[in-house]
């Protein structure tokens, strides 16, 4: 629990830094941001069916909240703010996002 809270706090500090600091973005930072976001948001989809051959109608399934959503929400928020920042050069960002 302490590790998750420390990670959450660090993410919030990064969001604040990007929001409040101008001209802080360079190619190295873009590469690090894309790597961090990718490591956090790209994951295997969890299935609740134990039998992989069982038919499941997605409309019948109860929605379930991803356990990591509070953490992921901050990552998504950070990435959104980073991408729309005037400090990010779209040509540089595209090179790393397209990898």
Give me the count of residues in the chain: 99
Residue 66 is predicted with a pLDDT of 76
Neighbour-count burial of 21, counting CB atoms closer than 10 A to its CB (0-12 exposed, 13-18 middle, 19+ buried): exposed
Handedness of CA 14, 17, 23, 24 (dihedral sign): negative
> pLDDT per residue over 46-95, tens digit each?
666 556 666 666 666 666 677 888 889 999 999 998 888 888 999 999 99
Average pLDDT over residues 1-29: 89
Residue 59 is predicted with a pLDDT of 67
Decide: pTM greater than 0.85: no
82 and 33 in contact (C-beta within 8 Å)? yes
Residue 28 is predicted with a pLDDT of 93
44 token code pair: 């295997």
42 and 48 in contact (C-beta within 8 Å)? no
CA distance 40 to 47: 19
The DSSP code for 68 is T
Domain boundaries, the chain: 2-43+65-97
């Amino acid at each position: 629990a302490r590790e998750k809270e420390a990670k959450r706090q660090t993410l919030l500090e990064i969001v604040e830094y990007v929001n409040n600091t101008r001209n802080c973005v360079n190619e190295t930072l873009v590469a690090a941001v894309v790597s961090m976001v990718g490591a956090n948001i790209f994951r295997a989809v969890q299935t609740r069916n134990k039998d992989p051959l069982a038919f499941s109608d997605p409309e019948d399934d109860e929605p379930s909240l991803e356990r990591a959503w509070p953490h992921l929400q901050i990552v998504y928020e950070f990435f959104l703010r980073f991408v729309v920042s005037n400090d990010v050069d779209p040509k540089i960002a595209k090179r790393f996002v397209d990898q």
